[in-house]
Structures are given as structure tokens and as C-alpha cells.
Structure 1
């Protein structure tokens, strides 16, 4: 197992991932609700997303992963064709990953719209995980841009990693204000 996937494995099975996701979402929402509009919508630099844009990105990534989990289930059941090959992720000159274009925020969402979107996307992911059941940890796989070939469980684990990463990122950024 590649090192990146070993890092994801620390989040465990689906039940453990769902506990992590519940905890991190609660913390994320509490944190966002404590922010002023200026803190939420301020872009610290031309190439740096606002907290609102980070939240939109989190929801776009989660929505995408939920669709992948659904498709992997359907492939396993013979109801869909396997995914075509995917492209590897791009990185910045300093080695940090770049968000795939489909997960880049568009901006312009209100606080309420962001929180509603996060909730709606999470509900869809939870439904996909429940529907997948035991199939979650079994092939087929689909290549993540940065973590390689992952089962549906691996994609769920990326959501735990991703939300925790961005929660820490925005907390650190705002702690410096």
C-alpha cells in the first residue's frame, strides 16, 4: 500500500470515518458561525481563498466523492461501466496540491447558502455510504488525483482527511489575524 494510502487508513472503517466526519463537521460549523462576515469573506491574498471559498471547495470535493462512491457501488453491482482513467493531480511549485478545476470555488455564496450546501452534500454522502454497506471496502477502485487507486472506503477516508485539513488551515489562518 502506498504511503499516502497508509495515511488514509488511519481513519479506519466506515463507522469510524463517519464519527470523524460528524465531529469535524460540528467543529467546522461552530467555527464558521463564530466568524464575522469580514473574516468569512475576506481574501488574504490574490491567490488565497477566503474562508467562504474554502467551505465551498470542501462541499464541492465532498459532492464529487459522494458521486464516486455511488458509481463504484454501481460498478460493483454491474449497473455501470468502470470509470475511464483519471489524470493525476497537479501541484504548486512548493509541492502543495492544486484543487482540480471542478472543485475550485466560484464564490458569491452567502453564509446561509454555504452552510445549507455543506449539510445537503453531507446528507447525500451519508446516504451513499449507507447504500454501499459492506461493498464500501471492496473493489472496484477509482484513482484519486493525489492518493492513487481507492475503494469507496478510501474515498470516504479522503473526506475525513480533507475536511480536517481545511478546518485546521482556516483556524490557523484566522488565528494569525
Structure 2
């Protein structure tokens, strides 16, 4: 296991990941409730996403991970072909990971629309996890742009990391 995969492993099995996701989503929604529409939609810089855009990004990542979890299950069952190799992730000049362009927010969603999208994508992930059941931690794998080859459980673990990371990011930006 690589260091990145060991870091993800601290989130544990699917049951533990789901508890983490439930807690982080509750914290995220509670924090968003405290923001005015102006704070939620304000971009602090030209190249910096607004909190609403970060929420849309989280939902796009969850949508993608849910599809990957489903495809890994289908590959394991012989119902789909394995994935082609995934492209390597890009980083900023300071070394921080850069989201793939497909995960960029469009920035056109209202508060209610972004919250509805977050809920819908979370429900999709939960369905895929439930349907994967015991297969979740087992091969096949698919390469994550920054964490390497991951099982479906690994992809679920990335969602725990991802949401927590962006919640802290939004909170820190609003303190500035």
C-alpha cells in the first residue's frame, strides 16, 4: 500500500466510511445554513471557487465516484469490461492537487439547487455502496488520479477525505 492509500485506510470499512460521511455532511449542511446567500455565492478571488461552487464540485465528485463504484461491481460480476487506464492527476505550481476539468463546478446553481444536487448524489453513492455489499473492498480496482489503484472501498474512502477537506477549506476561507 502507498502512503496515500494508508491515509485513506484510516477511514476503515464501508460501515465506518458511511458514519464519517453522515457526520461530515451534517457538519457541512449546518455550516452552509449559517451562510448568507452573499457569502455562499461570493468568489473570494478570480481563480477561487465560491462556497456554492465547492459544494457543486463535491456533488460532481460524488456522482463520479458512485459511477466508478457501480462499474467496479459490474466488472467483478463479469457484466462490464475493465476500465481503461486513468489519466494522472495534475497539480498546481505549489504541488496541491488540481481537480480534473470534468469536476469543475459550472457555478450556475442556487442554494436550493446545490443542496438538492448534494442530496441526490449522496443517495446515489449510498445505493451503489449497498448494492456492492461484500464486494466493496475486493478487486477489481480503478486508478484514482492522486491515490493510485483503488477498490470500490478505496473510492468510498476518498469521498470521506474529500468532503472533510473541502469543509475545512470553506471554513478557513470565510475566516480570512
| Coarse TM-score class (shorter-chain normalised) | over 0.9
RMSD, aligned α-carbons: 0.4
Partner of 2:62: 62
Q: Deviations over 1:72-109 (max 9, x none)?
A: 00000000000001101000000011100110000110
2:120 paired with 1:120: yes
- The ranges of structure 1 where at least 4 consecutive aligned residues each deviate by more than 4 angstroms after the TM superposition are none
For 1:35, the equivalent position in structure 2 comes to 35
Deviation by residue 1:27-52 (Cα, 9 ceiling, x = unmatched): 10111111001110111110000000
User: 1:5 aligns to what?
Assistant: 5
Correspondence list, 1:142-153, <5 A: 142-153=142-153
Q: Please tell me whether residue 48 in structure 1 is matched to residue 43 in structure 2.
A: no
- Listed as ranges, the gaps of 5+ residues in structure 1 are none
In the superposition, the TM-score normalised over structure 1's length comes to 0.99
- The whole-number CA distance in structure 1 between the counterparts of 2:125 and 2:29 is 17
* Distance in 1 (alpha carbons) for counterparts of 2:45 and 2:115: 24
Question: Where does residue 160 of structure 2 map in the other structure?
Answer: 160
Provide the residue aligned with 1:136 in structure 2. Answer: 136
Q: How far apart are residue 114 of structure 1 and its match?
A: 0.4
Inter-partner Cα distance in structure 2 for 1:134 and 1:154: 14
Aligned pairs, number: 176
